Amino acid sequence: MKVRKRIRWTRFVAVILFFTIMLGAGYYFLGGKIEEHGQAENIASDKARFEENDDSGDVIEEVMTEEEEEEEEEEEEEEELENETVALNPDGKYIALTFDDGPSAKVTPRVLQTLAQHDAKATFFMLGSRVEMSPNIAAQVVAEGHEIANHTFSHPNLKKLTHNEMTEEINKTNKIIEAATGVTPTLFRPPYGIYNQDILNYTTSENYTTIMWSVDSLDWKSRNPVAIKNEILNNITNKSVVLMHDIHTATAEALPEILMALKKEGYEFVTVSELLSLKSEKVDPYFGN
């Protein structure tokens, strides 16, 4: 009897142990699957969030597109400028008005206003020292479609300077003009119209075109509106480069009548670069080199 009870008890314990082992194994196996599934879901979820937030490809594409558009716009603007220059009729009547020694806070705005009223373009040979004092006016000159050029920093006689002093006068002015207007001048006019071969060699090596003039208004001498007007009208010819100064009140006062008189004679007013673009125009140290 005791033996049977002992056998039954042993079987009972064995069954309990068997089910305990099976239950533990099942839990371990099932838990591992659940954990693997959870990890897979987490990985998939993280990947989805990363892909959702990762718009670097789109951003790069947009930046590249904007850069391409800007480059295309710049190319179109350059082409338009080239077309405007080439559009001049070699047989047309053109004059390049030039103004030296500015900008002047008092006179240059008056000159710009008159030019705008007569749809006339001009070239301004500026001093770096004056651009430093009136950078906003220099920027206005460019904004209104006129050409801006280099006339040294302090208006010295360049022949009396050392080579390094001469180059500093020119280079310093170009940097100042570029900072004020965003434009790098390519035209240069030596003060007093005085130059030598060293100056020409340097400006040529730096890709400047040295510009002189063919008609001097003598506004610096007369300071008289009537005298200035007569000096120009009596000496003007087709494709002239006219020298004036936008630092004299008399020049601003004379300009309206000068423009009206020349327009009646059929002249159009262009920049120096536009005038020099005419292939029939002779280019030498007098006009430019």
Distance CA 100, CA 260 (A): 22
Q: Give per-residue pLDDT as tens, 157-182.
A: 999 999 999 999 999 999 999 999 99
Within the chain, where are the H helices?
2-53, 56-86, 108-117, 128-133, 135-143, 163-181, 197-205, 219-222, 225-235, 249-264, 272-276
Q: Give per-residue pLDDT as tens, 58-97.
A: 333 334 456 666 666 655 554 554 444 447 888 899 999 9
Name which of 112, 125, 116, 175 is nearest 155 in CA terms.
Answer: 125
- Residues contacting residue 154 through CB under 8 Å, at least 6 positions apart: 127, 128, 129, 169
Residues 243 and 217 sit within 8 Å (Cβ to Cβ) = yes
Name which of 103, 161, 188 is nearest 137 in CA terms.
Answer: 103
Q: What is the value of pTM for the model shown? A: 0.70
Mean pLDDT of 203-211: 96
Confidence (pLDDT) at 91: 87
Would the pLDDT of 10 be above 90?
no
Residues 129 and 168 sit within 8 Å (Cβ to Cβ) = no
Q: What end-to-end distance do the CA atoms of the chain give, in Å? A: 133
Q: Give per-residue pLDDT as tens, 100-159.
A: 999 999 999 999 999 999 999 999 999 999 999 999 999 999 999 999 999 999 999 999
What residue type is 99 in one-letter code? Answer: F
Residues 275 and 281 sit within 8 Å (Cβ to Cβ) = yes
Residues designated as active site: 100, 245
DSSP character at residue 192: G
Count of C-beta atoms within a 10 Å radius of residue 20: 10
Site of tokens 């850069």: 67
Tokens of 159: 């022949």
What residue type is 287 in one-letter code? Answer: F
Residues 209 and 289 sit within 8 Å (Cβ to Cβ) = yes
Residues 185 and 123 sit within 8 Å (Cβ to Cβ) = no
**Residue 218: strand, helix, or coil:** coil
| CATH value of 94-278 in 3.40.50.720, 3.40.630.40, 2.60.120.620, 3.20.20.370 | 3.20.20.370
